[in-house]
Amino acid sequence: MVTKNYLDSYAQSLEKPAEFWLDAARNISWSTPPQQAIDSSRAPLYGWFPDGVLNTSYNALDRHVEAGRGDQDALIYDSAMLGIKRSYTYAELTGLVAQFAGVLRSRGVGKGDRVVIYMPMIPEAAIAMLATARLGAVHSVVFGGFAPKELAARIRDAAPAVVVTASGGVEPSRRIEYLPAVKEAIGLAGTPDLPVLVKAREGFASSVADHAGWLDWDTEMSVAVPAAPVDVKATDPLYILYTSGTTGAPKGVVRDNGGYAVALSWSMENIYDVCPGDVMWTASDVGWVVGHSYIVYGPLLAGATTVIYEGKPVGTPDAGAFWRVIQDHRVNVLFTAPTALRAIRKADPEAKLLERYDISSLRTLFAAGERLDTDTFHWASRVLGVPVVDHWWQTETGWAICANPRGLDDLPIKAGSPSVPMPGFRLNIVDGSGGDVENGTEGNIVLGLPLPPGTLTTLWRDDERYISSYLQAFEGYYATGDSGYRDEEGYLYVMGRTDDIINVAGHRLSTGAMEQVIGQHPAVAECAVIGLADPLKGQRPSGYVVLKSGVDVPEEILVKDLVALVRRDIGAVADFKHVTVVEALPKTRSGKILRKTMRQIADGDEYTVPSTIEDFAVIEKLIETLRPAAAGD
C-alpha cells in the first residue's frame, strides 16, 4: 500500500519503484493489466509496463461513460477571439472521437501509423488527437505558429499517413491561413499527394474546395462508421512531439501509452489535486507538451472537465480575460505560463479587473514553461489569494520533474523554487565532470536512470541521437540541459539552460535554428543568436551578424530582410526582431562562439572571459556595441 505523503511516496518510488508504479497503474483500465513495471532489457533505453495492454483514448473517454458520467462535461471550448462557448459531455466527446477515428480508418490509418495534426485551439484538435490514439496510431501535433518549413521538417521525419488541419487560426491582429501553409509544407516535404483533412472555419480565404483531393472534416464525419478502441502495448508510441534541439533539426520526443497514462493519472490526483468532476483549465496550446498533458490527456484521464481556450491573457478583450473564463466555467485549477501572468500584471498592475468577476471556484494556480520569477509569484499570490505553484518540466519528461504536490501534502511553497522532485525522478546536481556538488552550489541538473513512467522513451527512429543528446554527458544520468542548485531542504532552484535553447513567452526555441536561417542571407559571413532577458517574455532572441567583406547593404534593409527570413522559415512566434551588425564575434581558439559571454555582456551581468579566447580586442569592441544596442531595444 502506498502512503499518502510526499516524503514517503518519494522514498518508496525510489526504493521500490515496481511496487510504487504498479500500484499507481491500478487507476488505469487495462485490457491486460501489467505484472511487470520496468523493462531494462534495452538499457539505457527503458520501457514501462512491458506486458500491459490498453487504449489511452478509451481510458480518457469511454470508461467514464461506462462509469455513469456520460452527462458530465468533458470539454469546454471558449473562444475569446470569436465569442463562442460550447461544451461537450463525455458521451458526446466519445461519440465524436469514435466517429473521427472512423474517418481516419477509412483513409487507411491503422496501428502505428502517424497522423500530423496542425490545428488551432479548437475542440477538433483534441478530437483528432484522441481519435488517432483510439486507432493505436501515433499523432504528431505541430504548433500553429510554426512556419511551413518547420511543418515540412516534421512531416518529413514522421512520415504521416494523413495530415489533419483547419482553415486557420485567429490571432488578435490577423487571421492565419493554414491551408496555403500546409500545401507549401507537403510540397517541401516531397509528399504533395499526402491526404489532407480540413475542418472548415468561417472567415478564411482558402477552403478545402481550392485543393483537389483534400477532404472536408464535416462531410467525412457524416458518412464515417465509428471505430472502437484498438488495444496497444503499453510500450507502443502514443505520440511524437517535436521540440527544439540545439541544432536546426527538431527532436521527435516519443511518448508511450501505458507509462504516460499512469504518470499523468498519478499527477492529476497528487500534484494538481484534481478529481473527477473538477474543472482544470490549462491556458497553453495543444501544440506544446503542456497542452498534450494537461489540456487533453491528464484532465480526461482523471474524469475532470478541461477547457480549450482560444484567446490571449490580454487584449481579448482585456486583462480580465482569464478571470472571466474562471468565473464562466467554474475553473478549480488554472495552469499557465509566467509570461501570461506578467502580461496581465503589466496591463492591470492592481488586478482591478478581478473586481468584476467571481473567481471563488479557483483553488490553485500552477505555472510552468519558464521560471516563475519572484515578483510575479508574489503578485499572483497576493491578487488571487490562492496557492501559486511553480513546477518545472520539459517536453521530454511529459510531466513535472519538480513540483509542490498539492494532493499529497501541504509542503511550504518557496518563492523562486519549483519545490521538490516528484516520484521516480532521481534528481541530482553535478559539476562539469559529473561529480556531486554541495547544496547551494549551481551545477547541471541531471536525473538518474531509469526515468519514471511518462517520460520520453527515445527520439523518433533515432535511439542514437537520444543517447548522444541526453545520456552521454553524465554517466548513468539523463542531462536536463538546465542548471540550478538545491537548498538545505532539498528545494530546487532552476537558473537557466546550459545550451543554446531559449524560452520566449514560454515557447521553446533553438537559437541554432535561427542562426541557420540567418546564415543563408548572401550578405552574412557569420552570425550568433542569443537570448536576452526580457521583462515580459522572459527571453527574446537577438541576432549579431558579421558581414562578408565588400558587402555594402544599408543596415536597416539587412535587418528587415533577416527579420522577415526568420519569420518566414521558423514563424512569427520566434519573435525575432533585433539584429546588430558587429565587426567580429568572440571565439575560442577552437572557433566556438562565446554566446554565453555575449549574453552576459548584453544583459549587463558579471562575466569571465575564458582563457581560450582568440582575441580580447573583439570582446572589448563588443562591449561597446552590445550594451547600448541591448539597452536601446
Residue 450's nearest CA partner among 479, 421, 422, 424 is: 424
Closest by CA position to 300, among listed 38, 96, 82, 144: 96
Report whether 307 contacts 325 (CB < 8 A): yes
Task: Please choose, from the candidates 520, 526, 575, the residue with its C-alpha nearest in 3D space to the C-alpha of residue 549.
Answer: 526
Residue with smaller CB distance to ligand AMP, 324 or 508: 508
Q: Which of residues 151-180 bind ligand AMP (CB under 6 A)?
A: none
* Other residues' Cβ atoms within 10 Å of the Cβ of residue 470: 24
Nearer to ligand COA, 153 or 505 (CB): 505
Q: Is 220 helix (H, G, I), strand (E, B) or coil?
A: helix
Query: Closest distance between ligand AMP and the C-beta of residue 321, in Å?
Result: 23
Q: Which of residues 573-632 bind ligand COA (CB under 6 A)?
A: 573, 575
Size of the site for ligand AMP (CB under 6 A): 20
Pair 104, 131: CB distance under 8 Å: yes
CA 65, CA 30: separation in Å to the nearest integer? 16
Residue 395 interacts with ligand AMP (CB under 6 A)? yes
Name the one range near ligand AMP by CB under 6 A: 367-375, 431-439, 524-532, 593-601.
Answer: 367-375
Could you give phi then psi for residue 622, rounded to 5 degrees? -65, -40
Q: Contact with ligand COA (CB under 6 A): which of 343, 354, 408, 585?
A: 343
527 is in the binding site of which of ligand COA, ligand AMP, none (Cβ under 5 to 8 A by kind)? Answer: none
Strands, sheet with 279-282, edge to edge from the N-terminal-most edge strand: 84-89, 73-79, 305-310, 279-282, 333-336, 364-367, 388-390
User: In the set 47, 506, 512, 531, which binds ligand COA (CB under 6 A)?
Assistant: 506
Per DSSP, the three-state class of 170 is strand
Q: How far is the CB of 480 from ligand AMP (least distance, A)?
A: 6
Enumerate residues 490-529 that contact ligand AMP by CB under 6 A.
494, 497, 503, 508
Instruction: Supply the Cα-derived Rg of the chain in whole angstroms.
Output: 24
- The site partner of 482 among ligand COA, ligand AMP, none (C-beta below 5 to 8 Å per kind) is ligand AMP
What is the C-alpha to C-alpha distance for residues 551 and 525, in angstroms, rounded to an integer? Answer: 10
481 binds ligand AMP (CB under 6 A): yes
Phi-psi map region of 144: left, alpha, beta (phi>0 left; psi -120 to 50 alpha): alpha
Stretch touching ligand COA by CB under 6 A, among 11-19, 193-201, 249-257, 281-289: 281-289
The span from the CA of 321 to the CA of 434, in Å, is 46
Nearest to 203 by CA among 65, 384, 31, 81: 81
Instruction: State which of residues 168, 229, 291, 369 lies at the interface with ligand AMP (CB under 6 A).
Output: 369
Among 103, 181, 286, 290, binds ligand COA (CB under 6 A): 290
Residue 370 as a binder of ligand AMP (CB under 6 A): the answer is yes
* Contact code string over 176-215 relative to ligand COA, x by CB under 6 A: x---------------------------------------
**Contacting residues toward ligand AMP, per CB under 6 A:** 243, 289, 368-371, 390-395, 418, 480-482, 494, 497, 503, 508
Residues that bind ligand COA (CB under 6 A): 144-145, 169, 171, 173, 176, 283-284, 288, 290, 312-314, 337, 339-340, 343, 369, 505-506, 572-573, 575
